[in-house]
Amino acid sequence: MRSLEADRVAYYWFKAFHIVGVVVWFAGLFYLVRLFIYHVEANDKPEPARSILQEQYGLMEKRLLNIITTPGMLVTVSMAIALLITQPDYLQQGWMHAKLAFVAVLLGYHHYCVRLLKKLQAGTCQWTGQQLRALNEAPTLLLVLIVMLVIFKNQFPTSASVWLMVGLVVTMLATIQLYARKRRLDRERQEAAATSLEAASTQS
């Protein structure tokens, strides 16, 4: 009886820290790629602002990855393993297989972000700000799918209403992308206008 009670308490502790790890991990991934966007767009700034901004963003990226994002990932994975040890029956269920597959994709995404950071540090990253904005939506979709699997398990809904909800999420993400693009274009036009005015005043 004591063993069962101890297992139950341990399960709740593992689950609590697993959730904390997930929150920290996703927060880190979201903000990390946002810093990548700022880092890339700093290339359009004149010197010395460009060098100052890129150095600052590079420092922030490394700290975010090493202090928040990667530790969050390690806590998430280690607590997940502990949960599966206490509840091995989950490994026999289809929803868990699907969830683990999505988590594997998320781990691949994390690894690719590490590679992108190294390329940014070396000045060899070929991604544009707009492409990075699209990339930054990937963990959102994975988060939605993983949460739905955890909540519904083997009763994963396939009705039209569910797919309507998924469609709304995709539409929301697309709207965010379009708005970000509009803001970027507006900013570029303002900078071009300011440059033209400065050139005109210099000539006069």
**In Å, what is the CA distance from 171 to each residue of 165, 166, 176?**
10, 9, 9
Name all contacts of 150-155 with Cβ < 8 Å and 24+ positions apart: 150/95, 150/99, 152/95, 153/93, 153/95, 154/93, 154/94, 154/95
Residue 87, exposed/middle/buried by CB under 10 A (0-12, 13-18, 19+)? middle
CA separation for the pair 65, 31 (Å, rounded): 10
Evaluate the omega torsion of the peptide bond into residue 46 and state whether it is cis, within 30 degrees of 0.
Answer: no
Annotated ligand binding at 18? The verdict is yes
Instruction: Show the tokens assigned to 173.
Output: 């993400």
Instruction: Show the tokens assigned to 201.
Output: 């005043």
- Find all residues with CB under 8 Å of 151, minimum gap 6, and list them: none
Annotated ligand binding at 97? The verdict is no
Task: Identify residue 101 by its one-letter amino acid code.
Answer: A
Task: Identify residue 120 by its one-letter amino acid code.
Answer: L
Residue 141, exposed/middle/buried by CB under 10 A (0-12, 13-18, 19+)? middle
User: Binding site residues for heme, as ranges?
Assistant: 18, 99
User: Binding site residues, as ranges?
Assistant: 18, 99
